[in-house]
Structure 1
Amino acid sequence: MSLSFRQSDIVEIANVEGRVTVDGLAERFQVTVQTIRRDLSELSDAGKLDRVHGGAVLRSGVSNIGYEDRRALNHEAKIRIAERCAADIPEGSSIFMNIGTSTEAVARQLLDHKNLMVVTNNMNVANILVENPDCQIVVAGGVLRRSDSGLVGNLAVSTIRQFKFDHAIIGCSALDLDGDLMDFDLQEVLVSQTIIEQARQISLVADNSKFRRTAPARIASLADIDTVYTDSDFPETLARKCNDWQTQIMECK
C-alpha cells in the first residue's frame, strides 16, 4: 500500500504520541471524520496502526519501536512520573535502574540527590548521573545492545547478584490486563527478573501507552511490585488486582 501524505503524517503522530483520535485528526487536517476513519481503516489494513474505539494506537507485535521514538513518546508524562518517583527515593539509598526511557527520566530527577549508589545496565542512565558528583555509579557488565545502550546477558546478571538494593526502578514495554509486566528481549527480561530478586523495594515507572501495547516475554507480575508510577487512571481491572496484591498506584497527573 502506498500511503498518502496525510496517512504518513498520521503514522508519525502515532509514533510520537502513542495514539491518535478521529476527532483530533479531523480538526488537525481540516477534513471530515469520515475521511479520517477511512484513513485509519486503510492504515490498519496495511499493518501500520491498530484501530480502537474513537481512533487508533501503535501496532503491538514481537519487536519494539525505535528507541528515539520511545524517548519522544509521552515525554511530558514521563517527566511527571519521574519527578514523583525520584521524590520518593531517600538520599543515601542504593538503587538499581534498568534499560528504558522512563528510567532515564528518573535519573535526570536524581541529579540533586545526595549520597547515592546507582547500579545500572543502562549506559544512558550512567551518562546522565555523571553530572551528580554525590552519586557513585556502578555499571553492570554485559553485551552492549547498540540500539539503546543497554547491557544484557549473563555477565550483567552476575554483576547484579552481587548487590542487595534498597530500591529498584524498572520499566517495561507493556502491561497486560492479567497484571503481567512484558518485554521484547529475553536477555533483558532475565536482567529485570534478577533485579526484582535483589531489591527490597521495587518501583515500576510506566506511562499510559504501556496499557495499550503487548509484548511476548513475561518479566513478572504486578504482585511483585511495591509501587507503580503512572500518568493516568489505572485500568479498572488492573486497579482491582493491585488492591488485592497491595501494590500501591501513584497516578502522576
Structure 2
Amino acid sequence: MYAEERRRQIASLTAVEGRVSVTELAQRFDVTAETIRRDLAVLSNEGIVHRVHGGAVASQSFLTAEMPLDARYRSASGAKSAIAHAALRYLPDAPGSGIFLDAGSTISNLASLLLDDPRAGSWSIVTRSLPIALELSGGGLTNVHLLGGTVRALSQAVVGDTPLRALALMSADVAFIGTNALTVDHGLSSADPQEAAVKASMVANARTVVVLCDSTKLGTDFLVSFASLDDIDVLIIDGDAPASILAEFESRGVEVVVVED
C-alpha cells in the first residue's frame, strides 16, 4: 500500500472513530509505529487530524471550508472514476426516463460516460451543473435541461429559489447525488445552505437516489444536512472506506457498492 492511500484510510478512520492510536494503526496496516507517526505528522500539518499522546483525534466536528472546483477534480481522481463506472448499472433502461444529475467532480465523471451510452439520447437529463450541461450538450445530446437560477462561483452549480420551484414540479426515475461529507448521524451534508436546498429537492423528487461518494468524504460533517441515510437507496464508494462504518450503512437499509480504483 502506498503512503498516500494509507494516510487516506487513516484520515477516514480518525473521522469515523474520533480517535486512533499509533499502536492500533501500526498493527492494522502492518507497518512500524514510526511510519504511523510520520503519517500522522503529515495529516496534522494538513489540518486533517490533531496529534495527541499516543495517536490522533479528528481535528473538528463540523467543517466550513470547501475545496475549489479544480482541487476537487484532482482529489481521489482514481476512486472517483471507478465510482462513476459503477454507477452506470443504475441508469434506467426505459426510453423517456428522467435523470437528475447533481454537481461535483464525481458526478462529472459519470456525465462524461453518458456520452458513450446509446440510450442517453432517449433520457430526459436535468442537471444543476453548468460544466455538465455544457459537456453533455456539446457532446450532441439534445435532451439536457439546465436548471435556471444563480450560478455559484465555487461549484459552478445553480442555486436559489428558481431551481427549487422547477424541481418541485419534476420527478426523476433516478438521481445521482454528490456530497461534501457523509456520516451515519448527520447523513449527507454541505457547507452552503443554498447548495444543500437544491440537493435536498433532487433527493425528494427522485424514485431512486444513488450517492457517489469517495472515502475522503466519509466521517466528516459540514454544517447543513440535506439528506439522511433513510433517503438513500444506493451508496457507491471506494475500498478505502472502513468496513465497520459501511456495515452500519447497510444495517440502515442502504445498498453499499464498494469499488477498487
Q: TM-score, normalised by structure 2?
A: 0.75
2:49 paired with 1:50: yes
Using the TM superposition, give the Cα deviation of residue 233 of structure 1 relative to its aligned residue in structure 2, in angstroms: 5.7
Q: Following superposition of structure 1 onto structure 2, how do residues 163-202 of structure 1 map, counting pairs within 5 Å?
A: 163-178=170-185, 180-202=187-209
Using the TM superposition, give the Cα deviation of residue 57 of structure 1 relative to its aligned residue in structure 2, in angstroms: 8.9
Using the TM superposition, give the Cα deviation of residue 239 of structure 1 relative to its aligned residue in structure 2, in angstroms: 3.1
Structure 2, gaps ≥5 residues long = 12-21, 23-33
- The letter for the 1-side match of 2:81 is I
2:237 aligned partner: 230
2:15 aligned partner: none
Q: 1: distance between equivalents of 2:208 and 2:229?
A: 13
1:162 aligned partner: 169
* Distance change (3 Å), C-alpha of 1:34 and 1:94: closer
2:109 paired with 1:109: no
Structure 1, gaps ≥5 residues long = 1-12, 23-31
The one of 146, 151, 156 aligned to 1:144: 151
Q: 1: distance between equivalents of 2:36 and 2:248?
A: 39
Using the TM superposition, give the Cα deviation of residue 63 of structure 1 relative to its aligned residue in structure 2, in angstroms: 1.6
* Distance change (3 Å), C-alpha of 1:131 and 1:58: farther
2:129 paired with 1:122: yes
Using the TM superposition, give the Cα deviation of residue 202 of structure 1 relative to its aligned residue in structure 2, in angstroms: 0.6
2:28 aligned partner: none
Q: Say which SS state the counterpart of residue 257 (structure 2) adopts.
A: strand
* Distance change (3 Å), C-alpha of 1:239 and 1:143: same
Deviations 1:169-192 (A, max 9, x none): 001100113261111110011111
Q: Say which SS state the counterpart of residue 103 (structure 1) adopts.
A: helix
- The letter for the 2-side match of 1:190 is A
Q: Identity across aligned pairs (percent)?
A: 22
- The letter for the 1-side match of 2:137 is V
Q: 1: distance between equivalents of 2:59 and 2:70?
A: 15
1:72 aligned partner: 74
Contact 1:19 1:57 survives alignment (8 Å): no
2:215 paired with 1:208: yes
Q: TM-score, normalised by structure 1?
A: 0.77
| Higher RCO (C-alpha 8 Å, min separation 6) | 2
Q: 2: distance between equivalents of 1:172 and 1:41?
A: 22
2:253 aligned partner: 246
1:83 aligned partner: 85
Using the TM superposition, give the Cα deviation of residue 108 of structure 1 relative to its aligned residue in structure 2, in angstroms: 0.9
Using the TM superposition, give the Cα deviation of residue 38 of structure 1 relative to its aligned residue in structure 2, in angstroms: 8.7
* Distance change (3 Å), C-alpha of 1:162 and 1:132: farther
- The letter for the 2-side match of 1:70 is R
CA RMSD of superposed structures (Å): 3.3
Q: Say which SS state the counterpart of residue 158 (structure 1) adopts.
A: helix
Q: 2: distance between equivalents of 1:118 and 1:140?
A: 11
